[in-house]
Structure 1
Amino acid sequence: MSSPTPAEILARIGKLEIRTKNLVNEIFSGEYRSSFKGQGLEFAEVREYQAGDNYRDIDWNVSARLGAPYVKKYTETRELNVFFIVDVSASMQFGTVQPKKQERVAEIIALLSFSALSNNDKVGLIMFSDQLEKYLPARKGSNKALEILRDVLYLEPEHKNTSILEALTFANHILKKRSVVFILSDFMDSGYNKPLEILAQKHDVIAIQILDEAELKLPDAGVLNLYDPETGDTLYCNTSVTSIQKAYEARVSKQQEDLTKDLAKMKVDYIMLRSMDSHIKALRTFFEQRRRRLREGR
């Protein structure tokens, strides 16, 4: 297949931008804003004490100078750094239906990045296989979002394998300011719990798992030649054998159960998207759950 021309790349990204910005304007801007806290408080002004004010906020120096109690008032610093840590290993190219996993990742990032930019937040990108493939520091502006989308859709990774551990180790090294971090992967990897735990202690981390239906349940399609795009290994398997179907589903179920438990233990939010799921519905549900938790102070 020939590589897309610059004009074709611009046209594809332009269509995605228009579609996404309409969704952000209609739905997601307010939901995004109310789902994430600012990164702290900064001093705004002092004013005279009023009934109900917290005595801990009294500015004793100003109060002594003016002869009446005055309190300090603070405003939330709204600006956020939003980072996308994106798996571009060979398994993310897989898909039995449209959109494939890589395209689904682009759609999700488009919604989240334009929602962030509509709230004056910065967006950045870390792309990984079993090594760092691309790093874009957090910046403002729609051009930054378009650059991220171009890389997610068209970057040709140098390696095929996966190392979430390497990606998270890099993120822990370079992310100094508290950030909102979205990790987009099929999470077909292991050994990354420690750096993920460290990342979640310092940042607001959300894991978004993208899976094809065929990765969750073997299709009843007779003998198939199964190919691992990362290792190049092949295996002939009779997918119509009930015992093989059940063994495969039991293994996948255990992996998913372990992942869910591990993420909950580390206080990492989790969204699982299958090929037939609506990412728009999943993100709206996620934002609603976040808002509810914030209201309840959890």
Structure 2
Amino acid sequence: MRATSTDHTLTALGSDGVHLSVSELVRYQQFTRLLDLTPQRMPQARLSGGYLTRHKGRGMEFDEARHYQPGDDIRAIDWRVTARTGKTHTKIYREERERPVFILCDLSTSMQFGTQLLTKAVQAAHVTALVSWAAASRGDKVGALLFAGQQHRECKPLSRKRAVLAICHELITLQGFSLNQQSDEQSQAEGFTDVCARARRLARPGSLVYLISDFHHLTANAQQHISQLARHCEVNAVTITDPMEHALPDTGITQSVNVTDGSNLQTWLLGDKKEQQQYRQWRAQHNQRLTDFFARAKVSQNHVSAGASLDEQLAELRRRPL
């Protein structure tokens, strides 16, 4: 039996597209250079570490020279500027501040869907691993809140390799749990709202926060929690989608298919142009509502497809911060 391009891609990823393994998550350690985690806006928290802030103090990065003021450290006097101007000047430095990275990853029932390569949950785990390895390589502390229906795992912020391996272990455990459970729309919506509220409490002010989900259950209360989170942290939303969530497949012939989310059953008419157009418009409206909300909340939004390997999408992600 001839192997398909999908089979070759899955082999390269070390994945079956549905389950998770340590090797496929550790693999993203080699791609950290392609992900830029430098702040897009200045951190606001009083932390110490490797990022420059607008707060001036005894840091390592020179900021400016200004007139000497009573109380200034005489060791910081800039003698060259003083000699040139005839007035005493002192050097001012910008402090280096640490910025923790916090990840919320959604592995709930709606994420257990995929039509071409990976389920959305597996792709979300790959993105989580990539961000975690990138943070660890910079020396940042990385923590996570992983969510699967009524189950969640908190990974306390730690530094270096042990932090990422702890997150990978919990991703594998939760994905296995999620594959064996079913939940209705209401419970998924309530669960997502609760986990957004928890992320708002756990993420320290000034953190870089990644929300990785399909956002199918983004309730009004969840939006409030995310908006509040974005006031104190730099928040990036990574929307995971499947190709079929943008357009129905073009079958060439008209045929009826039954589809289910595990609790609701619908019949779709594939190959019918009117049905395809209506579906495309419905999905476009849903996506636009998400885009509008993130814009209002001042949350950066990026899109990752589950229908292609993250490797293939990294080149595009490199041109714009993830």
- TM interval, short-chain normalised: 0.7 to 0.9
Aligned residue among 92, 95, 104 for 1:75: 95
Aligned-pair distance for 1:195? 1.3
Aligned-pair distance for 1:63? 6.7
Say if 1:39 and 1:80, in contact at 8 Å, map to a contact too.
Answer: no
Q: Which residue of 2 aligns with 1:5?
A: none
Give the secondary-structure state (helix, strand or coil) at the position aligned to 2:209: strand
Aligned-pair distance for 1:253? 0.4
Aligned-pair distance for 1:282? 4.6
Q: Which residue of 2 aligns with 1:7?
A: none
1:224 aligned to 2:257? yes
Q: Which residue of 2 aligns with 1:263?
A: 294
The separation in 2 between residues aligned to 1:59 and 1:76, in whole angstroms, is 23
Over residues 2-47 of structure 1, what are the superposed CA-to-partner deviations in whole Å (9 max), with x where a residue is unaligned? xxxxxxxxx9313531x322222xx336x3347675374463269x
Give the secondary-structure state (helix, strand or coil) at the position aligned to 2:58: strand
Aligned-pair distance for 1:239? 2.2
Number of matched residues?
269
Q: Which residue of 2 aligns with 1:146?
A: 165
The separation in 1 between residues aligned to 2:129 and 2:145, in whole angstroms, is 15
Say if 1:82 and 1:124, in contact at 8 Å, map to a contact too.
Answer: yes
Q: Which amino acid letter does the alignment assign opposite residue 180 of structure 1?
A: L
Q: Which residue of 2 aligns with 1:211?
A: 241
Over residues 257-287 of structure 1, what are the superposed CA-to-partner deviations in whole Å (9 max), with x where a residue is unaligned? 1111211121111111223345346555455
Aligned-pair distance for 1:144? 1.8
Q: Please, which runs of 5 or more residues in structure 1 have no aligned partner? A: 1-10, 292-298
Q: Please, which runs of 5 or more residues in structure 2 have no aligned partner? A: 1-19, 43-50, 78-86
1:166 aligned to 2:171? no
Against the structure 1 CA distance between its residues 64 and 144, is the aligned structure 2 distance closer, same or farther, given a 3 Å change threshold?
closer
1:28 aligned to 2:56? no
Q: Which amino acid letter does the alignment assign opposite residue 206 of structure 1?
A: N
Against the structure 1 CA distance between its residues 132 and 261, is the aligned structure 2 distance closer, same or farther, given a 3 Å change threshold?
same
Say if 2:104 and 2:145, in contact at 8 Å, map to a contact too.
Answer: yes
The separation in 2 between residues aligned to 1:120 and 1:185, in whole angstroms, is 26
Over residues 210-261 of structure 1, what are the superposed CA-to-partner deviations in whole Å (9 max), with x where a residue is unaligned? 11111221224521111113xx111222223222221111110011111112
Against the structure 1 CA distance between its residues 15 and 278, is the aligned structure 2 distance closer, same or farther, given a 3 Å change threshold?
closer
Which is worse superposed, 189-198 or 34-43?
34-43
Say if 1:131 and 1:166, in contact at 8 Å, map to a contact too.
Answer: no
Q: Which amino acid letter does the alignment assign opposite residue 23 of structure 1?
A: F
Say if 2:211 and 2:237, in contact at 8 Å, map to a contact too.
Answer: yes
Give the secondary-structure state (helix, strand or coil) at the position aligned to 2:102: strand
Aligned residue among 20, 45, 58 for 1:44: 58
Say if 2:145 and 2:153, in contact at 8 Å, map to a contact too.
Answer: yes
Say if 2:246 and 2:283, in contact at 8 Å, map to a contact too.
Answer: yes
Aligned-pair distance for 1:205? 0.5
Give the secondary-structure state (helix, strand or coil) at the position aligned to 1:60: coil
Say if 1:32 and 1:115, in contact at 8 Å, map to a contact too.
Answer: yes
Aligned-pair distance for 1:129? 4.1
Q: Which amino acid letter does the alignment assign opposite residue 189 of structure 1?
A: H
Against the structure 1 CA distance between its residues 270 and 283, is the aligned structure 2 distance closer, same or farther, given a 3 Å change threshold?
farther
Give the secondary-structure state (helix, strand or coil) at the position aligned to 2:21: helix
Matched ranges for 1:48-67 at <5 A: 53-55=65-67, 58-62=68-72
Q: Which amino acid letter does the alignment assign opposite residue 16 of structure 1?
A: L
The separation in 1 between residues aligned to 2:73 and 2:170, in whole angstroms, is 56
Over residues 130-173 of structure 1, what are the superposed CA-to-partner deviations in whole Å (9 max), with x where a residue is unaligned? 54511112111212211212222331146635333222111122
The separation in 2 between residues aligned to 1:228 and 1:39, in whole angstroms, is 47
The separation in 2 between residues aligned to 1:42 and 1:159, in whole angstroms, is 53
Say if 1:126 and 1:134, in contact at 8 Å, map to a contact too.
Answer: yes
User: TM-score normalised to the size of structure 1?
Assistant: 0.78
Q: Which amino acid letter does the alignment assign opposite residue 212 of structure 1?
A: D
Q: Which residue of 1 aligns with 2:155?
A: 136
Aligned-pair distance for 1:71? 3.6
Aligned residue among 15, 22, 25 for 1:13: 22
Say if 2:248 and 2:270, in contact at 8 Å, map to a contact too.
Answer: yes
The separation in 2 between residues aligned to 1:141 and 1:260, in whole angstroms, is 34
Matched-pair identity in %: 22
Against the structure 1 CA distance between its residues 76 and 288, is the aligned structure 2 distance closer, same or farther, given a 3 Å change threshold?
farther
Which is worse superposed, 275-284 or 196-205?
275-284
Q: Which amino acid letter does the alignment assign opposite residue 31 of structure 2?
A: L
Q: Which residue of 1 aligns with 2:111?
A: 92
User: TM-score normalised to the size of structure 2?
Assistant: 0.72
